[in-house]
Amino acid sequence: MAETSGKKPSLRIIVTAAVLVIIIATSYAVFFLGGDQWGKTAGEGKISTENARIPAQSAVSGPAAGEKLQVVTSFRPITLLVAPVGGDHITITQILPPGADPHDYEPTPNDAVALKNGKVFFYDGPFLEPWAADLAASTNPDIHLATFAEAIPGPAYDQMKRQNADFPNLNQDPHLWLSPQLAEYYVSYVARQLSEADPEHATDYQSNAAVFEQRLVHLDAEYKAGFSNCTTRTFLSSHSFLDYTAAAYNLTPISIAGMSPDAEPSIQQMVAVVEVAKEHNARGVLAEPDEAEDLSKSISAELNLPVYPFITMEILPTGTLTPVDTDYVAIMEKNLQEMKKAMVCP
């Protein structure tokens, strides 16, 4: 729709214009300065904590001999699931910087530069990242888009729905990575996407995925065993981020807020949450650290329930990362222990 007189230009127009300026400037630098680098480049085989400018390459063919495959990821959990599969053959540039929340993130011109130089773009999906596909298409029409929801085969999803009528809609609940069972599908999907983009190392991608999948199978078994003898199978959560996990392990989640941590329930909704929690014998509240904490505590105080921290992995921590911070399985094992506390599991 055309801009009317007196209105400010939209964010998309501003970003697109800035993108074009940067692309022209980048092309000039590469052509006349021999590809001289500026900015920081993501480490090889490591998780980048900020956008990187990567040497331009063709988005049609695989990487040149001796070069890493340039992969772009949207935010932390996607990076944690892609990195072990790509191993030493890829360089990852993560779009969201430390501290950024994917629920309200707005892309920058630097994000467009990262996408312009990427071969494959892994992201969660349009519900959580509505900016992703349009920004990628405007800067690099040849980049391959790979979303988490696409990794779940239709027949498998249909079976999940038959087994559990409350199984979330893949296009409406973005928190797929918090289910170890769905993560297994995603890892094999990542291996296929990397193999198509870089056939020379397809065998290594498949091998890396097989090793990672075995860890996920063991993680799934830990979750099943961990929830096998709980005092209650109901828990409260600060917002709706554990519905996939609950569906996978026959648990009952009671969400205080909605899909976004910024959602604020009404007084009537709060009263209803308290009543349902009492009815289902909820024994604990799971909340993201430093997010929706006050909301969780208000409910926990009303019900006299403890609050347990749960790491959704949505936000990349600032500062130096520990080995656990970069290990999806290790993080999910910590989350399992907190969930067991919330449901009083031995």
Angle between helices 11-32 and 132-139 (to 10 degrees): 40
Q: Which of 201, 221, 241 is the last residue of a domain?
A: 221
Average pLDDT, the chain: 84
Residues spanned by the domain of 324: 230-342
Look at the chain and report how many structural domains it folds into. Answer: 2
pTM of the predicted model over 0.85:
no
Say whether both 179 and 281 belong to one domain.
Answer: no
| Rg of the chain, C-alpha, whole Å | 22
User: What tens digit of pLDDT does each residue of 80-114 get?
Assistant: 999 999 999 999 999 999 999 999 999 999 999 99
Q: What span, in angstroms and rounded, lies between the C-alpha atoms of 101 and 178?
A: 16
CA 270, 272, 274, 277 torsion: positive or negative? negative
276: phi then psi, degrees, rounded to nearest 5:
-65, -40
Question: In this structure, are 200 and 240 located in the same domain?
Answer: no
Residue 169 domain-assigned (yes or no): yes
Q: Confirm whether 1 is domain-assigned.
A: no
Could you list the beta-strand ranges (E) of the chain.
69-73, 90-94, 120-123, 144-147, 234-237, 252-255, 285-287, 307-309
Does residue 310 form part of some domain? Answer: yes
- Please state the φ and ψ torsions of residue 235, each to the nearest 5 degrees: -145, 155
- State pLDDT tens for residues 43-63: 334 444 344 332 333 334 578
Task: Tell whether the model's pLDDT for residue 29 goes beyond 50.
Answer: no
The share of the chain scoring above pLDDT 70, in percent, equals: 80
* Domain-located, residue 99: yes
Using DSSP's 3-state secondary structure scheme, residue 92 falls into strand
Q: Are residues 172 and 204 in the same domain?
A: yes
For 68-87, what is the mean pLDDT?
98
Note whether 180 and 258 are same-domain residues: no
> Is residue 114 domain-shared with residue 154, that is, in the same domain?
yes
Question: Does residue 184 share a domain with residue 134?
Answer: yes
Quick check: 125 and 171 in contact, CB under 8 A?
A: yes
When pLDDT is cut at 50, 70 and 90, the band that residue 292 belongs to is low
Last residue of one domain, picked from the residues 221, 247, 269 = 221
Q: Is residue 5 part of a domain?
A: no
